[in-house]
Amino acid sequence: MQEPIEHRSLRLSQAVTISAQAIGEVIAGRSLTEVLDQLDPHEKPIVQSLTFDALRKWIRSHELIKEFIPKPPPPEVEYLLVVAISLLLAGNADKKGYASHTTVDEAVKACNEYEQTKYAKGLVNAVLRKISLLVQSPKDGILFDPTLNPMFFPVWWQRNLKRNYPLTWQSISIQQAQRSPLTLRVNLRQISRDKYQELLNEVGIQSETIDEIGGVPLEAALCLGTPVPVSSLPGFYGGLASVQDAGAQMAAVLLNPQPGERILDACSAPGGKSAHLLELADIELLALDIDATRLGKIGGNLERMRLNSQLVSIQHGDASKADWWDGRLFDKILLDAPCSASGIVGRHPDIPFLRRESDIKGLQDRQRELLQQAWRMLKPDGLLLYVTCSIFPQEGEDQAIWFEGRHSNVLRLRSPGQITPTGTHDGFYYALFKKNGT
């Protein structure tokens, strides 16, 4: 088996060490995105890949650790073993990973990279060799089937899924342990989807159209068969396409912007949905976000997509307050509210390790504050689209029912409601409201 040729600038032993330390940071409560952003550019790709894979295979890795080490090892050794076992399992599943002997040798070398693991070289070597033999000659014929691998969820999360999805919670768990696809949104202002698909074919990138989700037509979505760096995408830096999950592309389509409308994207960073709205119609857009750091990404994205204009305003502010608002009502408001992110675990596998059950109540309160303020800023006959990337009903349907009960002038229009993760999109919730009366 040949070793992969990518990421040669960082030795595998170093990458395993950094990945194990990143897992330790996640377990301590830090976002993996924040941890990875501190790495050098040549370190980030392989460390991200190793860490994501280790978190996705957390359950199976720990089953094997427990089988060969009855007494739980110290955390530093545990996390290093999880990374190495995930590499062994990956090689068994797709036959494209590192050779087993390479993984074992590099993991032993990794023990020397970190003071707290130097003593464990013998243990790591013995355990990984046993698992390596099991990988090569599994007792039951198949050691690891990625299509049957469940995602790690804390007990409270599992209870929530079992209660709300009694027939499908296990398939949701397995689906969210898979790597999410790379999906593009073609900028229809510049090129048709068919023409862009031809450009992809010319450079050897295979893609398939995603034509609808939940009855919502998608005219710009393309799912790539194999993920590639954005630098490989034709015309990416000229704004021909953006990376955006197909489920997220439903937002702008549902809001259906029309020329001349004044629209608020209330929690807009990093700007993917704002850009999509501008691709669909010549509108007056206010992109608002409470996070000044993330807000800075919107301008760059719009510039790349050639969507900046005098009708586009990017503003720092809290959408649950009115201190930033000039008093002019909006025709339409997109409220992509902060949430548990339980629908995008396939894209961010650190989420189940970070989220706490007590977070949900605080998020609910925040979502309701945002809904209430958005309603005040909406014109009569205007539309409010409430969105979360959650699969917990407490952040979706429960909130829509609560909101309807608070206002006599709410007309709920047809929208997909809850969509759960599949092989082509993440999980989202959508509710569309019309403001009746004067």
Per DSSP, the chain holds a count of helices (H) and strands (E) of: 16, 13
Q: Per the domain annotation, does 230 fall within a domain?
A: no
Q: Quick one: pLDDT at residue 437?
A: 77
Q: Per the domain annotation, does 49 fall within a domain?
A: yes
Alpha helices in 166-231 (DSSP H): 169-175, 193-202
DSSP state of 141: S
Q: Which residues contact 252 (CB under 8 A, 6 or more apart)?
A: 273, 276, 277, 279, 280, 334
State whether 268 and 134 are in the same domain. Answer: no
Q: Per the domain annotation, does 93 fall within a domain?
A: yes
DSSP 149-165: -PPP--HHHHHHHHHH-
Predicted TM-score (pTM) of the model is 0.93
The CATH number linked to 53 is 1.10.940.10
The CATH number linked to 378 is 3.40.50.150
Picking from 116, 146, 176, the residue at the C-terminal end of a domain is 146
d(CA 277, CA 242): 13
Residues belonging to the chain: 438
DSSP state of 418: E
241-243 and 428-435 strand pairing:
unpaired
Q: Quick one: pLDDT at residue 8?
A: 46
State whether 276 and 132 are in the same domain. Answer: no
Q: Per the domain annotation, does 190 fall within a domain?
A: no
Number of domains in the chain: 2
State whether 277 and 421 are in the same domain. Answer: yes
Alpha carbon of 255 to those of 261, 274, 336: distances in Å? 11, 11, 12
Contacts 24+ apart (CB under 8 A), 26-30: 26/51, 26/55, 26/350, 26/353, 26/354, 27/75, 27/79, 27/353, 29/354
State whether 302 and 430 are in the same domain. Answer: yes
Q: Quick one: pLDDT at residue 93?
A: 56
Cis peptide before 270 (omega within 30 of 0): yes
The answer to whether 284 and 263 are in contact (CB under 8 A) is: yes
Across 115-149, b (16+ Cβ under 10 Å) vs e yields: eebeebeebbeebbeebbebbeeeeeeebbebeeb
Q: Quick one: pLDDT at residue 144?
A: 62
Q: What is the pLDDT along the chain (438 residues), one digit of tens a residue?
A: 333 434 447 899 999 999 999 999 999 999 999 999 999 999 999 999 999 999 999 999 999 999 999 899 999 999 999 999 999 988 755 556 788 999 999 999 999 988 889 999 999 999 999 999 887 776 655 556 766 789 999 999 999 999 999 999 999 999 999 988 999 999 999 999 999 999 999 999 999 999 999 999 999 999 998 999 999 999 999 999 999 999 999 999 999 999 999 999 999 999 999 999 999 999 999 999 999 988 989 999 999 999 988 999 999 999 999 999 999 999 999 999 999 999 999 999 999 999 999 999 999 999 999 999 999 999 999 999 999 999 999 999 999 999 999 999 999 999 999 999 999 999 999 999 999 976
Q: Per the domain annotation, does 427 fall within a domain?
A: yes
Q: Per the domain annotation, does 158 fall within a domain?
A: no
Q: Per the domain annotation, does 224 fall within a domain?
A: no
Picking from 146, 181, 207, the residue at the C-terminal end of a domain is 146
State whether 135 and 257 are in the same domain. Answer: no
Q: Per the domain annotation, does 238 fall within a domain?
A: no
State whether 275 and 138 are in the same domain. Answer: no
Mind telling me the catalytic residues?
A: 389
The answer to whether 214 and 416 are in contact (CB under 8 A) is: yes
Picking from 96, 111, 146, the residue at the C-terminal end of a domain is 146
State whether 386 and 258 are in the same domain. Answer: yes
Q: Quick one: pLDDT at residue 277?
A: 98
d(CA 357, CA 165): 18
d(CA 230, CA 34): 21
Q: Quick one: pLDDT at residue 96?
A: 65
State whether 281 and 419 are in the same domain. Answer: yes
Q: 6 in the Ramachandran plot: left (φ > 0), alpha (ψ -120 to 50) or beta? A: beta
Domain extent at residue 345: 251-435
State whether 385 and 256 are in the same domain. Answer: yes
d(CA 112, CA 433): 59
